[in-house]
A and B are shown apart, each in its own frame.
Chain A
Amino acid sequence: MGVLLALVLAWLVVYPLLLVLVEGVRGGDGWTLEYVRAFLGRATEWRALWASIWISLATVALSALIGVPLAFLLARYDLPGARILGTLVALPAVLPPLVGVLAFLFLYGETGFVSLLVQRVLGLTDPPWRLQGAGAILLVHAYSMYVYFYLFTRAGLATLDASLVEAAASLGAGPRRMLWRVTLPLLRPALTGAALLTFMTSLASFSAPYIFGGGFRVMTTQIVATRLNGETELAMVETVSLTLVALLALALLRGSRADDSLAGGRKGAAPAAVPIRRPWLRVGLAAAGWGLAVVLLLPHLTLVLVSFVPLGTWTIEPIPPAYTLQNYVTLVRDPVRARPLLNSLWLATVATGAAVTVAVAAGILSVRRRVPAGRAIELLLALPWAVPGTVFAIALATAFSVHAPWAGRVILVGTLWILPLAYLVRDLPLTSRPILAGFRALDPALDEAASSLGAGRWRALRRVTLPLLRPALMAGASLAFVTAFGDFVTSIMLYTYDTRPVSLEILGSLRQSDVGVAAAYGVVLMVISAAVFAVGAERGTGG
């Protein structure tokens, strides 16, 4: 069983990547290193790769700088409205692709609200900044990815055993020493997990560098440029180089056991919130917190605003001159335009269901039964994390566009199934992480108790294991669903007429300069994603 699952996963996850590797060293007639040499010899390629790496590292640093203190502030201190704030600051996680980035243009672009405001206030003749290049990419990245640090740190703080902190305090550790010697080391698994996730997401990020990069290239945009220029084989080599960087990061950080942090089952009560006594500090911190929340919500609000703007009416005015519901009406009334929403719903549902099933199977085999293939299974499940979506899309398209059943290749490109399959692969790390951690935290005696009470495998799974895993299942499933629901980078290569997803409809509307409709789609996407997250969180923790 274990070997079978490992083989299926290897076929889905590793095999397509190997085929990409092969494409990179195979020319029209036989094997060649020509493209590898071309890659190695070009300064632009190295520059793009280096840009990808440093942007990702800087993103990790910035995100940590925002997310970790925010988590401490909201989790450890008794601020007015901390609960609502805690939810609000997680909202960047549901900002949809493409239009989310577009919202930044409306805000911080040269004629964006914020830019114009700053320009007026300071009495400048030129816009105060240009939303372009590395700085702009970092801004968007830090904004959308600090959420990982925030959520992971909060989860880590919640499972932190208060007795450890108390023990340190009784040993005379001051607040600073406590932070550096006790709290942060205990949070290390959570922080490594967040760092890894942020690094990978940033490395794979496409929309932000695509729209704000200008002349500044990272590897993902470089791959697209190379492909657009028709140099397919070189693009394959670039793809491989990006994957290697990601794998290297995964190998480096996995050494420190990034597992088990998010849904970790450590016992002990979390430390109680610390009341802030000095009133000016309390008010100040609360104001800062709410101020930050407003800043973080600006893109969402912008998107909502834009979704009410009729086509072509908003040009050089600082604020839209007219408003309409037409964009939403269009989206609902025209069946052709409503379809993508339904498509995305069922695609994401199928992919999420499959990803949860695979993760549960992996948990049973690897954690419960400790099959020899367990390690391989867990590694394979974590791997898609390290592979940018663009890369996976290319790999899947390459692997499944050839009919060679003896080589494990069937034609899936152009069928209904390629897209759910791609989403499934992308979702695997998202579901398997919390679910495997959930399995680890589960007392194996419960399962044995069920079987000694005469419950067969299925009944034990249905009545005992799955209900107990519910928080992990819900966390994994909601994350997987939202990811698949809004996916853009993978979909763009693999969708068909019958599986047009929302993100592509957004892109299509943008291509028509139909920003209002695109924003309306974005708002719908955002609302559904937020609802799914909320249900996931509520069902996951509630009774």
Chain B
Amino acid sequence: MSARRWRLAAAAAAAVVSTACGSCAGDGRIPVVIYSPHGRDQLTLLEHAFEAGRPDVDVRWLDMGSQEVLDRLRFERVNPQADVWFGGPTTIFDRGLRDSILAPYRPAWARRVDPRGVGPDDAYFPVYRTPAIIAFNSRLVPRSKAPHDWDDVLAPRWRDKVLIRDPVASGTMRAIWGLMILRGMRTPGDTAPGMRWLRRLDGQTRSYTLNPAILDQRLARGEGLVTLWDLPDILISRAKGMPFDYVFPRSGTVVIDDAIALVRGAPHPDAARAFIDYVGSAEAQLLAARKVYRLPARKGLSPDSVPDWVAEVERDMVVARVDWATLARETTGWMSYWDRHVRGSGATER
């Protein structure tokens, strides 16, 4: 009697395992595995669009932070699982380059993008541009009252009203922090004014959220009114019904090149190259712009084909001059210093 029960339990367990594993095998298409921080919506969109043109390829993506992409690729160096690294600021691709986890590939659209964002020896290429912006809760803050430049955020009005995505964990935030330090520099290596600015910002900060979803949630519910974040995320959230709006800082913002690269030792390099070619194509760039608010890195798209918001952005955005080489070299040290000495110290200063 009890023996039968045991057998039943064993059979159930076996059934679970075998049904689950039955679908591991795949369906004969060439799988292309993509590690990407771009999120479900965009990845699903591009997956279906690409597969429509290449029915022999099965795009499989894993959604994770760009730092996690780097970690994973490092651990998997001897047994690569991924074919494409899609997304993340070029600075983090540089770290991947140093860890020799990237394979050079010059996509078909290589000449259409700004060569400044291209990795050494064609290691990676920019596909989107991600401008940093100042965002605010549009239900609680009228546009006219919103801060219009970085320094406005330090006004007493916003004390304890600023929400910040944990800067250590975010490429966008690292770039903003870098910009703040760079623009304060009078002599090379002089980080003091920038850190002072960041300390004052820390004093304004209600909390650091370690997760964009919680940032969204808290901004939407008015727990904070203002944040510094990236354009696409805010536009997407707004499209989903979140009461968000944004401004471009007048003094100029930082625009992060968001890159794509072929993984060294990719199991399916040809299909991977095809996918990279597709992502930078005019069709895919426009698709991403229309549906998921990605600002194309590709130049020369015909003005009547781009969505209105792109035209608006191109008109309003002021781009600050940024010494990318210094930024790439120094960010780790700066962030480490900020994390240890500046974070949490602003409240005592004010």
Contacts and interface: CB of A to CB of B under 8 A. Distances in A.
Interface stretch (B17-25, B127-135, B189-197, B293-301): B17-25
Interface stretch (A55-63, A157-165, A208-216): A208-216
Contacts of B336: 229, 231
A353 B13 contact: yes
A512 B207 contact: no
B100 interface: no
Contacts of A105: 214, 217
A511 interface: yes
Contact of A311 (B77, B218, B241): B241
Contacts of B214: 102, 105, 211
B339 A110 contact: no
Interface stretch (B61-69, B118-126, B180-188, B319-327): B61-69
A228 B67 contact: yes
B78 interface: yes
Nearest to A497: B60
Nearest to A508: B63
A511 B168 contact: no
A496 interface: yes
Interface stretch (B219-227, B254-262, B308-316): B219-227
B33 interface: yes
A132 interface: yes
Interface string B225-245: 000000000000100111100
A211 B221 CA distance: 17
A154 interface: no
Nearest to B41: A512
Interface in A442-499: 462-463, 466-467, 470, 492-493, 495-498
A511 B212 contact: yes
B62 A497 contact: yes
B63 A511 contact: yes
B16 A349 contact: yes
Interface residues of A, number: 67
Given A229-B336, A231-B332, A414 B80 contact: yes
Nearest to A115: B223
Contacts of B13: 349, 353
Contacts of A231: 332, 336
Interface in A503-543: 508-515
B331 to A, nearest CB: 9
B68 A515 contact: no
Contacts of B21: 346
Given A111-B223, A346-B17, A467-B2, A214 B213 contact: no
B75 A401 contact: yes
B335 interface: yes
A210 B213 CA distance: 13
Contacts of B17: 346, 349-350
Contacts of A237: none
B83 to A, nearest CB: 11
B112 interface: no
A273 interface: no
Contacts of B16: 342, 345-346, 349
B246 to A, nearest CB: 16
A416 interface: yes
Contacts of B343: 215
Interface of A: 42-44, 102, 105, 109-111, 127, 130, 132, 210-211, 213-215, 221, 224-225, 227-231, 311-313, 315-316, 339, 342-343, 345-346, 349-350, 353, 397-398, 401-403, 411, 413-416, 462-463, 466-467, 470, 492-493, 495-498, 500, 508-515
10 contacts: A215-B208, A224-B169, A316-B243, A345-B20, A346-B20, A462-B3, A492-B68, A496-B81, A500-B62, A512-B213
